[in-house]
Amino acid sequence: MGDDVRADIREFLGSRRARVTPEQAGLPAYGGNRRVPGLRREEVAMLAGVSVDYYVRLERGNLAGASESVLDAIARTLRLDEAEREYLFDLARAAGPARTRRSPALVVRPEVQQVLDAMTDAPAWVRNGRHDILAANRMGRALYLPVFEDPRRPVNTTRFTYLNPAAREFWRDYDQIANDAAAMLRLEAGRNPHDPQLIRLVGELSTQSELFRERWASRDVVFHRSGLKRLHHPVVGDLDLNYQSMELPSEPGLVMNVYTAPEGSPTADALRMLASWAATHDNPALADPSMVGRGRNQ
């Protein structure tokens, strides 16, 4: 097992243990100063029903061979949420014997592009776990115009968030977007720790953004399935969009994002204005031939 995976396990379990107080775990709080924040290792071991020596080995990075019941017990003891629990199990798999994994897709099938193009009123696009946008409809490219104006292909929303100064104006909730972007990328790193393109992306962001280094070091992970996205679009102004992220069963590792707004709302009116603008303007970012599906390269 690589030292990087061991370090991820050690730092993740240690950081999650540090945030759980004895009171939260139902343990008596004795007087005096505790030398560590949160729970001690022996307290986690007791609550999880394993020996102290065994838990210490686990937290040092030796998750290989840990049973599902042990991982479940540790997740409950450390009060892990759904995303954190999945990350823990991914780390355990990564700690085991090396297995051949399918790299995240680089392009999509033409049939997926046809589905996107059929959605003429709603902005939509497809991404992989690295946050590369692999395909989009015209409204999706119009909505994310500042992102698509980056000449690099495929465009990457996390690279835009951390390295493009325009991101702070585009994302009205910039701090939350930055938090979520790093946390989602951390979750993907648990699923595909040996993906060379993901490793290069994290290295690029870590080298060029102090903020990313801070957020990455937090070890936070999060799902990004639905919610409200608040943007400031350079053409139509402020938008409050509902988004849904849907995994594509026929395209492992790919997710489709679709954005909508309640009928009669200011954002719905702004989307119609955006559609009209996109239909009448000749902007390379709106008709990007590199986003058309050409078959899969996985």
Mean pLDDT of the 196-201 span? 94
Helix (H, G, I), strand (E, B) or coil at 172: coil
pLDDT at 294 over 70: no
Tokens 């690099």 map to which residue?
Answer: 152
At 56, list the tokens.
Answer: 């210490």
pLDDT at 52 over 70: yes
At 19, list the tokens.
Answer: 């945030």
Distances (CA, A) of 41 to 5, 38, 46, 136, 205: 20, 10, 9, 48, 33
pLDDT at 298 over 50: no
Helix (H, G, I), strand (E, B) or coil at 237: strand
At 126, list the tokens.
Answer: 């497809």
Residue 131 pLDDT grade (very low, low, confident, very high; cuts 50, 70, 90): very high
Spatial separation of the C-alpha atoms in residues 126 and 296, rounded to whole Å: 13
Spatial separation of the C-alpha atoms in residues 280 and 170, rounded to whole Å: 22
Residues contacting 38, CB < 8 A, separation 6+: 17, 18, 19, 20, 21
Tokens 């759980």 map to which residue?
Answer: 20
pLDDT at 29 over 70: no
Buried b (16+ CB within 10 A) or exposed e, 189-202: bbbbbbbeebeebb
Mean pLDDT of the 210-239 span? 96
pLDDT at 227 over 50: yes
Length of the chain in terms of residues written: 298
Give the pLDDT of residue 102. Answer: 59
Spatial separation of the C-alpha atoms in residues 192 and 208, rounded to whole Å: 23
Neighbours of 238 (CB within 10 A): 12
Q: What is the pLDDT of residues 73-117, one digit of tens each?
A: 999 999 999 999 999 999 999 888 766 555 666 778 899 999 999
At 150, list the tokens.
Answer: 């980056």
Mean pLDDT of the 14-19 span? 94
Q: What is the pLDDT of residues 136-187, one digit of tens each?
A: 999 999 999 999 998 888 899 999 999 999 999 999 999 999 999 999 999 9
Give the pLDDT of residue 66. Answer: 93
Spatial separation of the C-alpha atoms in residues 28 and 30, rounded to whole Å: 6
Q: What is the pLDDT of residues 256-289, one digit of tens each?
A: 999 999 999 999 999 999 999 998 887 767 765 4
Buried b (16+ CB within 10 A) or exposed e, 250-285: ebebbbbbbbbbeeeeebeebbeebbebbeeeeeeb
Say if CB 275 and CB 121 are below 8 A apart. yes
Residue among 169, 86, 158 nearest 128 (CA): 158
Residue among 81, 88, 46, 83 nearest 67 (CA): 88
pLDDT at 32 over 60: no
Residue 2 pLDDT grade (very low, low, confident, very high; cuts 50, 70, 90): very low
